[in-house]
Amino acid sequence: MKRISVDLAKSVYQVAESVHSGQVVQRKRLNREAFRRYIQEQAEPVEWVMEACGTAHYWGRVAQSLGHRVRLIHPRYVRPYRRRNKTDRNDCGAMLEASRCKDMHPVPVKSHEQQQVQQLHGLRETWKKTRTQRINLLRGILREAGIDAPAATAAFVRAAHDLVERPELALLSKMLHIVLAEINLTEQCMVECEQQLKRWHQDDAIVHKLDEVSGIGVLTASAFKAAVGQPERFHNGRQLSAWLGMTPREFSSGNHRKLGRISCQGNTYVRTLFIHGARTALLAAQRCQAKTPERLTALQRWATQTAARIGHNKAAVALANKMVRICWAVWCHERRFSGNWQSSLPA
């Protein structure tokens, strides 16, 4: 099968064709419309090799709709194969060389729905950062004027309307009300994003199953489902956990094996949601242990014992690691979550 590597850009597309492995027979430099026609003119199925970067999933869907095979490679894995200077021509050659490595796992092409869910999460995160910036700006202005403000965010926002009316800030009062309006607007936008996610997934059986796991809500479940796409490509839950950067980074040589902190590779946003959810689940388990210890599940008992042994923060990350594995099992084996589940060991 002919293999074509493409260096994607906004308006210029560098193409390299390879019929025999390791040999480039033709190179082209096309604009957007010419590249679209070039894909459609391929009479036989072709393997398209691209870096998993901006617009790669769109062009991957276009090629797949015409019966072609698409292989997206992470840019980090392409870089070692590039020779000398960083040019579009050399990038295409590097992609062809990287695609010959059979052990390199490609990035799956995301559907349009997956990308829309991820973009909605991205919008919510952008508004959350904007809200934090505006609140910190107000705190700084009030602090410089000698005005004491509540430490809690919700209490600060409620009190800010009265605080900006203080005589010390008379000259800035009008501008500060605009900042408060921006804070209120971003909060409304975040709420609308969350409601939109709930509407999109109200009939999604997978999201409902994931939502039943301790410490996971619709926000985490929808982001996890959109990021993973096909859980079957992971042989077990540990591979998925390693893909999300939840497993220890290893520094080993010979007979010496050293495990460090978690690798923090993969999807940072989904990993953050899982760790925040694990903190909530751990706090709930500790409250249950203090009030009604007889109602603790096996998972909660393990979490509280781990927190007592290694500390709260490390236990939260360890619980997040276990939650990822549980989500993989719930999703792949199509069963409901149980805090007392005991997996059967192979014979």
Per DSSP, helices labelled H in the chain are 32-40, 56-65, 75-78, 88-99, 112-144, 153-163, 173-200, 205-211, 218-228, 237-243, 268-291, 298-310, 312-332
pLDDT in tens, 88-124: 999 999 999 999 888 888 999 999 999 999 999 999 9
Q: What is the pLDDT of residue 345?
A: 58
Q: Could you tell me the pTM of the whole model?
A: 0.89
Spatial CB neighbours of 59, under 8 Å, sequence gap ≥ 6: 6, 8, 39, 48, 50
Q: What is the rounded average pLDDT for all residues in the chain?
A: 93
pLDDT, position 346: 55
Residue 23 confidence (pLDDT)? 85
Listed as own residue / partner, the contacts of 173-179 with beta carbons closer than 8 Å and 24 or more positions apart are 176/138, 176/141, 179/134, 179/137, 179/138
Q: Span 287-296, mean pLDDT?
A: 93
Rounded distance between C-alpha atoms, residue 347 and residue 343, angstroms: 12
Q: How many CB atoms lie within 10 A of CB 86?
A: 9
The pLDDT-based confidence of 268 (bands split at 50, 70, 90) is very high
Backbone angles phi, psi at 269, to 5 degrees: -65, -50
Cβ-based neighbour number of residue 215 at 10 Å: 25
Residue 342's pLDDT is 78
pLDDT in tens, 181-191: 999 999 999 99
Percent of the chain scored above 70 by pLDDT? 99
| 75 has a pLDDT exceeding 90 | yes
pLDDT digits (tens, 9 = 90+) for 127-180: 999 999 999 999 999 999 999 999 999 999 999 999 999 999 999 999 999 999
Whether the per-residue pLDDT at 68 is higher than 70: the answer is: yes
What φ, ψ does residue 148 adopt, rounded to 5°?
-80, 135
Q: Tell whether the model's pLDDT for residue 76 goes beyond 60.
A: yes
Q: Annotate 31-57 with b (16+ C-beta within 10 A) or e (fewer).
A: eeeebeeebeeeeeebbbbbbbbeebb
Phi and psi angles of residue 196, each rounded to the nearest 5 degrees, phi first: -65, -40
> Which pLDDT value is given to residue 146?
93
Give me the pLDDT at residue 57, please.
96
For helices 112-144 and 218-228, the axis angle rounded to 10 degrees is 130
